[in-house]
Amino acid sequence: MALIFFKQFEAAGQTSTLRVLLESREKVANVPADYRFTTLSDSVVRDAQPEIYALLERYITTFSKPGHQVKSLYLWSQAPGTGKTTTASALLNEYIIAAVNSHISDGARPPERPAYFLDVNELQTLYNEFARPHVPPEIAERSASQYYAKIQAAKKAMFAVFDDIGVRSATEGFRGDLHNTINERVANNRPSIYTSNLAIEEMAQVFDERLFDRMRDQCQALHFAGDSKRGKR
């Protein structure tokens, strides 16, 4: 997968410095190991979702359009394993490529973290680790530090993935933090990719109407049909 990720730069005869720039930004993007360097071209989901991938090929061209507001996307399916996370990761990686390419072409250094992958289920686990009663102080401190670092990274990245949003019931405190994160991104015109096993309308019940309104603002929902693709990477 890494070969396709890097090929446009190598084909252009650019130096190994660009490869280092891409690798470093991929590393801090927090992409799960199974999806690192995945692009739309080599995604295992591509053949199973041809209509969605045709749309996404057009979508990623907006990453490099000066002055264009990139829209957010909500990738969902009732069944797990239909390729939502793979696709979201591929879009994030495509954004990293576009951001590095654009900045280098303009003679500027690319941002250190143009994109960030946030596993919402993992984030909620960290919240529960430090928010529940009688947690040993060292565990609470470590979990809280990781939790707020992830929140800040998701707020500030130019492009973000919120993976598995709405899969568990949420406390008021966690809902508030997630709402603030999404709200800041929307207010600053930073596009996000959401994945979920719930239709976007159900976010109003999982969280609240305010968060639902923020999520669907400038956001297109795409439904992933079919069977699980897990084990086929």
Structure tokens at 38: 């995945």
Q: What is the pLDDT of residue 229?
A: 57
CATH topology of domain 2-59+70-223: Rossmann fold (3.40.50)
Q: Are 63 and 99 in contact (CB under 8 A)?
A: yes
157 CB-near residues (< 8 Å, 6+ apart): 29, 113, 114, 115, 116, 190
Is the distance from CB of 223 to CB of 73 less than 8 angstroms? Answer: no
* pLDDT score, position 233: 44
Report the mean per-residue pLDDT for the chain.
88
| 176 vs 16: CA distance, rounded Å | 43
Point out the residues of the chain with pLDDT beneath 50.
1-3, 11-12, 232-233
Place of tokens 């009732």: 78
Would you state the pLDDT for residue 19? 78
Q: What is the pLDDT of residue 119?
A: 97
The per-residue pLDDT for 5 is 56
The reported pLDDT for the residue numbered 7 is 57
pLDDT at 104 (0 to 100): 83
Cα separation, 128 vs 106, in Å, equals 44
Query: Quick one: angle between helices 2-11 and 84-105, nearest 10?
Result: 20
**pLDDT in the model for residue 38:** 93
Closest CA to 121 of 175, 165, 79: 165
